[in-house]
Amino acid sequence: EEEDGRERKAVSFQKERHGKRGKSLLSESLLSETFRKLSLQSASKKAILDEPTYDCFIQCFKERCFKKVVTIVGAGISTAAGVPDFRSPDTGLYENLAKYNLPYPQAIFEIDYFEKEPSAFYDLAKQLIPGNFKPTISHYFIKILEMKGLLIRHYTQNVDGLERKAGISDEKLVEAHGSFSSSHCMKCNKTYSFEWLKQEMEAAGVPTCVLCNTVIKPDIVFFGESLPSKFFECISNDFPEADLLIIMGSSLLVEPFASLVKRVNRNCPRIIINDQEVGHKVGILYDPRRNKRDVFIRGTCDDSCSRIINSMEWNEDLEELLKQND
């Protein structure tokens, strides 16, 4: 019954992708693709890890059991670079915003409030401008995965642009909350580069359009806005295909990002790198009596990534990346 349900879902998914063609008989190529995905699902039923431990995870990594890695990260991978967790009211970023009489701290990241009072956001954004920070070891670890041909996709909640500075390609990168790398006019939609935005922020405070003098909005996702289309386009394919999921520096509290951990195959190992346990509400398991695949590596993201890099003997790759970006 479970297999029948999976087959119906796979066929339904293919029909949806091909629009009107779904009403006709499936082509041979379409059937081939459907059965290929079902075969992958069946093959992945066997648990990869003998036990959910760091040593077992590394041993499987060395034996090339993992060839399709998805990484998802939050603010924790950038704190070592000095980037503040700007969505938390406890960071001190909000201290100079009292003059704006915010109804609550997070209002500064709501699109309705930005449209009324953009100067509040730009006051805060000056402390977050990409270019003032360098990538961390955690960012370079993800780049190494790409260099090794192991990375399917990297999903980030961060808007600091450090993935780009670390050299992660656009193809592999999904910035779920957007980034400062581009911006646009809220009226005429003219686009602007990060370099232009940074210069205007430093000179004028609130950047305005050169054509119509309307406020410019960075292409980050404010509360009340939809996530980028690339996010939804990629998750439907990436997570069913993944044979390893690495979660770093995320509280796994913000949806729909948090629920991504449930999209991988039920036996796909999930590596959680954090200084505390996270993800209980989305099914991350820490009880050894129930847990068969979740490996918790406690510590900072950089320390943990350094440990993995050392275990995998990727130190030379890291050193080369550090030299290139020095």
Name the average pLDDT for the chain: 84
Instruction: Write the single-letter amino acid at 217.
Output: K
As a whole number of Å, the CA-based R_g of the chain is 22
pLDDT at position 238: 97
108 is known to lie in a ligand binding site: no
pLDDT at position 108: 86
Residue 161's closest CA among 190, 132, 141?
A: 132
The DSSP secondary structure of 140-159, one letter per residue, reads HHHHHHHHTT-EEEEEE---
Q: How far is C-alpha 301 from the geometric centre of its chain's CA atoms?
A: 15
pLDDT at position 88: 56
Cβ-based burial of 307 (10 A; exposed 0-12, middle 13-18, buried ≥19): middle
Residue 58's closest CA among 326, 304, 251, 232?
A: 304
Give the tokens for residue 28.
């041979």
Give the tokens for residue 182.
């581009």
86 is known to lie in a ligand binding site: yes
In the chain, where the domains are located:
52-82+136-177+226-325, 84-132+179-220
Mapped onto helix, strand or coil, the DSSP state of residue 4 is: helix
Beta carbons of 270 and 261 less than 8 angstroms apart = yes
Whole-model pTM: value is 0.80
Beta carbons of 267 and 44 less than 8 angstroms apart = yes
pLDDT at position 275: 93
59 is known to lie in a ligand binding site: no
Nearest-angstrom CA–CA distance, 108 and 103: 9
160 is known to lie in a ligand binding site: yes
Cβ-based neighbours of 219, under 8 Å, separated by 6 or more: 178, 179, 180, 181, 182, 183, 184
pLDDT at position 94: 62
pLDDT at position 315: 97
185 is known to lie in a ligand binding site: yes
Q: CATH assignment of 52-82+136-177+226-325, given 2.60.120.620, 3.40.50.1220, 3.40.50.720, 1.10.600.10?
A: 3.40.50.1220
79 is known to lie in a ligand binding site: yes
Cis amide linkage into residue 89, ω under 30° from 0: no
75 is known to lie in a ligand binding site: yes
Q: CATH assignment of 84-132+179-220, given 3.30.1600.10, 3.40.50.720, 2.40.50.140, 1.10.8.590?
A: 3.30.1600.10
Phi-psi region of 209 (alpha: psi -120 to 50; beta: other; left: phi over 0): beta
Alpha carbon distances (Å) from 87 to 83, 91, 110, 179, 314: 11, 9, 11, 14, 33
Nearest-angstrom CA–CA distance, 123 and 97: 8
Residues with pLDDT less than 70, the chain = 1-47, 85-98, 130-131
Nearest-angstrom CA–CA distance, 159 and 214: 23
56 is known to lie in a ligand binding site: no
Q: Which residues are catalytic?
A: 177
60 is known to lie in a ligand binding site: no
Same fold for the pair 52-82+136-177+226-325 and 84-132+179-220: no
